[in-house]
Amino acid sequence: MYKLIALDMDGTILKNDTTISERTKNAVKLAKKCGIKVVLASGRPMEAINSYLEELDLISEEDFVLSYNGAIVQNTGTKEKIVSNLLTGKDAHILYKLSLDMGVDINGFSKFHGLVAPKNNLYIQIQCDEINKPLVQMDFYEIKEDDEITKIIMTEDAEILSRGIELIPDNIYEEYTVLKSDKSFLEFLNRDSNKGKGLEYLANHLGIAREEIISVGDAENDMHMIEFAGLGVAMGNASDDIKKIADYIAPTNEEDGVAHVIETFILSDKQ
């Protein structure tokens, strides 16, 4: 019997217009009523998750969330952090130099400054809009070496970013978790951070076995948690690479795929 379901947001529980369908809302609330832990697992910062947690009634001392692709795992009611595996300003300096070599733009989430970037672009502005806060425009070398950085993101048009990725040296992959959350977003996290590791920390905290977990996602940054879960689910709109590692393929995010998974694997056992 499953005890926890981890849900990616963009392209998974969210429709293309970034709303949640009534069917999906009802399924989530019924699952919670049945004692299932429903956990949003997103690459987004908390500021861009909170409104959805409220909409789904997932803010309480019994609820948890994975933000920044699992770099931070916290209780939604008390705000207590179970996990906080971050980068430093020194990492920001290293990755800034790499971004210049790759010919792509860079931004990062600094605990002290907020969302920072040497210059703005369309993709960075999307992130500003998500958290409803302005960009702090500054040279990355002005960031202090001991400043806490949640994650670094390199952004550019898909083709340019893909060419830049070919220039990343092997040691970077050894020192950081590197993953694509979208075709124009390449993210760098502490090497102990990804959604799978974040979910593992949470499962251990709650005393839940991996066999009792369902993970649902659609993109490369969901791969680790899909592989970790007892039942790894790829959305119908997921990339082929994600579908290959999944145990089950759900309908698309436009077809209430998350509701289908909850109804099929959780609610059917409760009736």
Q: What is the CATH number of the domain that holds 121?
A: 3.30.1240.10
Mean pLDDT, the chain, integer: 96
Summarised one tens digit per residue, pLDDT across range 101-156 is 999 999 999 988 999 999 999 999 999 998 888 999 999 999 999 999 999 999 99
Count of structural domains within the chain: 2
The label of the residue with tokens 């179970």 reads 82
Please check whether residues 104 and 184 belong to one and the same domain. yes
Angle at 76 between CA 248 and CA 216, to 5 degrees: 10
Asked whether residue 93 falls in the same domain as residue 162, the answer is yes
Alpha helices, DSSP H only, in the chain? 22-33, 50-55, 89-102, 122-131, 158-165, 170-175, 195-206, 223-228, 240-245, 257-262, 268-270
Domain that holds residue 119: 87-190
Contact status, residue 149 vs residue 90, Cβ threshold 8 Å? no
What is the CATH classification number for the domain harbouring 73? 3.40.50.1000
Residue 133: what pLDDT? Answer: 85
Same domain, 223 and 92: no
Token pair in block for residue 213: 């977990």
Q: Is the pLDDT of residue 270 over 70?
A: no
Q: Residue 96's CB: how many other CB atoms inside 10 A?
A: 18
Q: Classify strands 176-182 and 185-190 as parallel, antiparallel or unpaired.
A: antiparallel
Which residue is it, tokens 């049945």?
A: 34
> Using 50, 70 and 90 to split pLDDT, how confident is the model at 163?
very high
pLDDT at 210: 98
* 225 token code pair: 């948690």
pLDDT at residue 140 in the model: 95
Comparing 46 with 214, which gets the higher pLDDT? 214
Same domain, 111 and 73: no
102 shares a domain with 11? no
Helices (H) and strands (E) in the chain, counts: 11, 15
Largest CA distance in the chain: 58
Active-site residue identified among 8, 63, 91, 105: 8
- DSSP, res 229: S
Separation between Cα atoms, residue 30 and residue 18, nearest integer Å: 22
Question: The tokens of 226 are what?
Answer: 């899909």
Summarize the confidence of residues 191-199 as an average pLDDT. 97
Is 8 known to be catalytic? yes
Q: Which of 143, 165, 190 is the last residue of a domain?
A: 190
Q: Is the pLDDT of residue 271 over 60?
A: no
First vs last Cα of the chain: how many Å apart? 13
3-state SS assignment for residue 26? helix
99 & 182 share domain:
yes
Q: Say yes or no: 58 and 121 in one domain.
A: no
What is the predicted pLDDT for the residue at 192? 96
The span from the CA of 73 to the CA of 81, in Å, is: 6
Q: Is 255 left (phi over 0), alpha (psi -120 to 50) or beta?
A: alpha
Same domain, 223 and 176: no
- Does 166 share its domain with 206? no
Three-state SS at 267: helix
